[in-house]
Amino acid sequence: FDLIGHLSDNLGKPGEEIKSVRYDGETAYIVTFELTDPLYVIDLQDPSSPTIVGEILQPGFDTYQHVWGDNRLIGIGYDADENGFVTGMKISAYNVSSGEEEPLQTYNIFSYDYSSGTSWSYGFSEALYNHKALLVSVERGYLGFAVQAYEYGYVESSGSGGSWYSIYHSYYYLFKIDFANKNPIADPIIIEHPSSNDYYVGVDRGLMIDDYVYTLSDQMVITYSLADAQILEPHLVF
């Protein structure tokens, strides 16, 4: 392969590393991270001389971006505090119009939680590292992916001195995305598969067919009706 262009000047700050790259025609979006998330907009009209034309700063970083129409972008990734410590999962909506670049909204999907030293919880998603785990319909304005969550803690009880517990949760999050709204990311529809004290049920994928979203785990199929805005009776998998 012949190298026809190269960009290093002004890309990232000392100590940062590239977390994700997304190409869209003659534009590229690159996210670097150490303490905050610079999302760089790169002009590729001249492939031999890529140029940074915009930059968006916010806490955390995106591991994937998806183009959502002209000059609009949705990112999924991790939230972080001012010291660069990851605090949970998020999705963000961006305006990437030249000269007007800005984050429009960030929605915290799941925050790592420590409560009074007696409980702890966290969540993660395959979509953070595998874009094929996403359900995306820009035309209809939907973004979906599975989220696994874990709770671990201690409950005091009279007489016995208390006990430790753990719960595994398996969800499917379905977001309505509409950049015509002030906040493009609506509160998600959360489809919960059975919880367990021993293991994740494991929601693998969501599939949209006509007005239905089918969410599949290793135990059942739970269907959401977009037209009726309700969850239908689940079907067990044998």
Nearest partner of 151 among 119, 173, 125, judged by Cα: 119
- Tokens read off for 235: 């079907």
Q: Is the pLDDT of residue 92 over 90?
A: yes
> What is the predicted pLDDT for the residue at 166?
84
> What is the predicted pLDDT for the residue at 214?
96
Q: Which of 18-27, 66-75, 172-181 has the lowest mean pLDDT?
A: 18-27
Per-residue confidence band for 195, with pLDDT thresholds at 50, 70 and 90: confident
> What is the predicted pLDDT for the residue at 17?
79
Q: Which of 26-35, 108-117, 125-134 has the lowest mean pLDDT?
A: 108-117
CB 179 within 8 A of CB 72: yes
Q: Is the pLDDT of residue 238 over 60?
A: no
Mean per-residue pLDDT of the chain: 88
SS3 letters across 79-144: EECCCCCEEEEEEEEEECCCCCCEEEEEEEEEECEEECCCEEEEEECHHHCCHHHCEEECCCCEEE
- Tokens read off for 60: 């955390």
Point out which residues pair with 148 in neighbouring strands: 124, 170
Burial class (CB in 10 A: 0-12, 13-18, 19+), 10: exposed
pLDDT tens digits for 44-68? 999 899 998 989 988 888 999 999 9
CA distances from residue 132 to 128, 162, 226 in whole angstroms, order as listed: 10, 43, 22
> What is the predicted pLDDT for the residue at 1?
84
> What is the predicted pLDDT for the residue at 31?
87
Q: Is the pLDDT of residue 2 over 60?
A: yes
pLDDT tens digits for 127-184? 999 999 999 999 999 999 999 988 888 877 766 667 888 888 899 999 999 999 999 9
Per-residue confidence band for 117, with pLDDT thresholds at 50, 70 and 90: low
